[in-house]
Amino acid sequence: MLTPIQLQQQRRRRAPPSLKQQYQQYILQRIEGFKNSIPRDELLRIGDEAVAEMDATAEGQFVLTEVLMQDSVDRLIRKRLALRSYRRWCEQFRALRSAQREPMHWGVDARCPVAGVLPRIEAGDTAIVIGAGAQAHACLLAAHDMEVIFLGGDLVSVDQVEALIATESLANNFTAYVAMLGQWLPPLPSLVHLVVLDSSVLEELSPPSRRDLISELQSSTEAAGVHVILPGNHSLAPEAFLNLYEDWSREDEPGGGRRSSSSKSHGIRLSRVARQNDTQKSESKTHDRRA
């Protein structure tokens, strides 16, 4: 993720996956989704059909292997699904992705701190999004080619966001977990660029659990990483949790100022103050990940 200064300097960004790569991922997703949606007996019948077709055309010229069998089954499923050609897919993909990258597509307010950080995202950056109230923001970040890890406190919220992600064809860069927030988290990546928190999650935790959760997330965040706390459906505003970020810098809201005390908060964005040794560690982790 770029810092505001790097954004102003128009630093060269990491290249996103090519359209060819994304098309192959689209094909594989649809095929695997079909396999998971049909009874085993039907899948076996497709396998028998593949064997019969190969026996009829090969005339004993090669040995039937598991790889050849898999390829033949996938080809039959692709034919059955009548998947779009690469050219047609590209035309529709570009239009769809362009719409998905707009906050409005997900019902996200343009004044939200997450919207303000979108220009700084590089393809392949990692985001952790926590809480049912941040589902739309998780989808928005996935549309910007971030590797998104969503943590929900119950199966309902995880199922909801996974269904939305699948419908919008964004599953390539998305993983969701049911986590016991404040007690247990899945293994987190060693390098996290952005954390988005629904403040309702923090309000429901005891003060010690709340501090432990934030501390763990902060320790996984890169040297110049960003945390966003969104307003929840409870009484406390995001600003109530600023005491958990004593060594972090609060970034101004779009427009250059902060909200008045009488206006509703759209959330707060905080950036980690990078020290020299932190920056060196972050660069080392980034190098190791790309190697």
Environment class of 40 (CB within 10 Å of its CB; exposed 0-12, middle 13-18, buried 19+): exposed
Environment class of 83 (CB within 10 Å of its CB; exposed 0-12, middle 13-18, buried 19+): middle
Res 259: pLDDT: 55
Task: Find all residues with CB under 8 Å of 185, minimum gap 6, and list them.
Answer: 151, 179, 213, 216
pLDDT tens over the chain, length 291 residues:
777 777 776 666 677 778 888 888 888 888 888 888 888 888 888 888 877 777 666 555 555 566 777 888 888 888 888 888 888 888 888 888 899 999 999 999 999 999 999 999 988 899 999 999 999 999 999 999 999 999 998 999 999 999 999 888 888 889 999 998 878 888 888 889 999 999 999 999 999 999 999 999 999 999 889 999 999 887 788 999 999 998 899 987 655 455 555 567 789 999 987 654 454 444 555 545 444
DSSP string, 227-241: EEEE--SSS--GGGG
Angstrom distance (rounded) from CA 138 to CA 150: 7
Angstrom distance (rounded) from CA 291 to CA 287: 6
Tell me the CA distances in angstroms from 27 to 31, 151, 202, one per residue in order.
6, 27, 40
Res 276: pLDDT: 47
Q: Are 77 and 35 in contact (CB under 8 A)?
A: yes
Q: Which residue has the tokens 């949790």?
A: 241
Q: Are 168 and 144 in contact (CB under 8 A)?
A: no
Q: What is the pTM of this model?
A: 0.76
10: left (phi over 0), alpha (psi -120 to 50) or beta: left
Res 29: pLDDT: 81
Angstrom distance (rounded) from CA 265 to CA 129: 19
Question: Nearest 10 degrees: CA dihedral of 275, 279, 282, 288?
Answer: -150
